[in-house]
Amino acid sequence: MSTYKQIYGYSIKNVASDPSADEGQVWYNNASYAIKLTSATTSGSWASGGNLNNVNPGAYLSYTGGFGTQDAAVNAGGYNPYTNQAQKYNGTSWTTTGNIPSSIGLFAVGGMGTQTAGLLAGGNPGPGTGSLEFDGSTWTSGGTLNTGRYWAGAAGLQTAGLIFGGETAPGKTNATESYNGTSWTTLPATTTNSNYGHGAGTQTAALYFGGLPSSTQSQKYNGSTWTNTPSLNTGRYGAASFGKQDVAVMVAGNTNPSPGSTATELFNGSTWTSSTAYPVTRQYMGGAGIPGGQGLAWGGDDAGGSPSASLNQTNEWTGPGVALTKTVTTS
């Protein structure tokens, strides 16, 4: 019978304490006399985060642009009424930061990048053709889109961004463009025209999903071609989204004709599965989270009710991919 080393080319490590290891790694703990491994959780959980600052008391904090990570996110702009203010999240609380210049739409913008190197593109009123770069405190003008749009999907970083689909008013587009830190370049189009869709991933490994009207579409981009993937379980638009191409999360959104939802779905690179529901019914939220597994969603519209302070809430997501140490047994 073959040994572990003969099969995998290396031996199991013999250690006195459990290491920090990637999913699937195996070791022998000589203090507890046990073979152990790392495994990922199979479902995620939502926890309350710090509330947004309600810059327009009595208004919805919806249709915002978002980018960054769970403990370093940016909320940009918003609707009803319009606001050009931005806020930063540190994992605990939100603080206001530099105003967004009027050279770009104030809501329904595509957001990508990090808190200290972010990018917004398109937006409404529009359809917007401008883009803005953010260094953590100041907004500066970026390159001009070839196709003006809002409610587009977005992915990537400030110097390697990607925008796809969106509303061109009237109508929708399947146009894809990449950003190199200076200018936008037209790339192969998505497999279907869609607006109000969502994005995750990087410039060369992106995911595009959902859209209007309550679309279940999902497709991958490999840097040169879009290909269809298995559909969402619940068609939605105006949701929050974050993650990577193979660890993506879609949160709440409009299911038309029923506005708002609590549905959370996860993508593992091949299929979408339903997971822990969002704590409240929402649509048109902001979201961020570049690393797979962690992210957050905030603000939004409460699906037909009156604007209220409760709409400023933030919820943090800890999802699949969180490493757990397990002991190997014979059962």
Question: What's residue 77's pLDDT?
Answer: 86
Instruction: Please say if the pLDDT value at position 7 is more than 70.
Output: no
Peptide bond into 257 cis (omega under 30): yes
Class of domain 45-318: mainly beta
Strand order across the beta sheet in which 176-179 lies: 153-157, 160-164, 176-179, 184-187
* Residue 106 confidence class, pLDDT cut points 50, 70, 90: confident
The burial class, CB within 10 Å (0-12 / 13-18 / 19+), for 272 is buried
Half-sphere exposure of 65 (CA within 13 A, CB side): 37
The pLDDT assigned to 103 comes to: 64
Share of the chain above pLDDT 70, in %: 86
R_g (Cα) of the chain, nearest Å: 21
Residue 324 has pLDDT above 90, yes or no: no
**Which residues contact residue 61 at a Cβ distance below 8 angstroms, ignoring those fewer than 6 apart?**
52, 54, 75, 78, 298, 299, 300, 311, 312
Q: How many CB atoms lie within 10 A of CB 233?
A: 14
What is the share, in percent, of the chain residues with pLDDT greater than 90? 58
Per-residue confidence (pLDDT) for residue 257, from 0 to 100:
75
Pairing of strands 110-114, 94-97: unpaired
Q: 163 in helix, strand or coil?
A: strand
Q: How confident is the model at residue 142 (pLDDT cuts 50, 70, 90)?
A: very high
Mean pLDDT score, 257-268: 89
Residues 6+ apart with CB under 8 A from 9: none
Q: What is the pLDDT of residue 64?
A: 87
The pLDDT assigned to 42 comes to: 63
Rounded to whole angstroms, the Cα distance separating 198 from 184 reads 19
Query: What confidence tier does 27 reach under pLDDT thresholds 50, 70, 90?
Result: confident
CA 198, CA 236: separation in Å to the nearest integer? 10
Report which of residues 105 and 57 the model is more confident about.
105
For 206-251, write each residue's pLDDT tens digit: 999 999 877 999 999 999 999 999 999 999 999 999 999 988 999 9
Instruction: Give the pair of three-digit tokens for residue 323.
Output: 């490493």
Tallying the residues shown for the chain, one arrives at 331
pLDDT value, residue 235: 93
What is the rounded distance in angstroms from the CA atom of residue 71 to the CA atom of residue 291? 11
Which range of 49-53, 80-84, 104-108, 186-190 scores highest in mean pLDDT? It is 186-190
Three-point CA angle 238, 239, 241, nearest 5°:
135
Residue 34 pLDDT > 80, yes or no? yes
CA neighbor of 152 nearest in space, from 132, 180, 172, 126: 172
Q: Select from 123, 124, 82, 80 the least CA-distant residue to 99.
A: 82
202, 245 contact by CB (below 8 A): yes
d(CA 218, CA 249): 12
Q: Which residues pair with 184 in a beta bridge?
A: 179
CB atoms within 10 A of CB 213: 13
Cα 158 to chain centroid, rounded: 15
Q: How many CB atoms lie within 10 A of CB 54?
A: 17
Question: What are the pLDDT digits (tens) for 44-86?
Answer: 899 999 999 876 665 567 888 899 999 999 999 888 667 788 9
Domain ranges of the chain: 4-40, 45-318
Q: How confident is the model at residue 6 (pLDDT cuts 50, 70, 90)?
A: low
The residue-averaged pLDDT of 271-279 equals 94
pLDDT at 242: 95
Q: Give residue-wise pLDDT tens across range 282-296.
A: 999 999 997 667 899
Q: Chain-centre distance of CA 62, in angstroms?
A: 16
pLDDT level of residue 262 (50, 70, 90 thresholds): very high
More confident residue, 63 or 277: 277
Residue 182 reports pLDDT greater than 60: yes
Q: What is the mean pLDDT of the chain?
A: 87
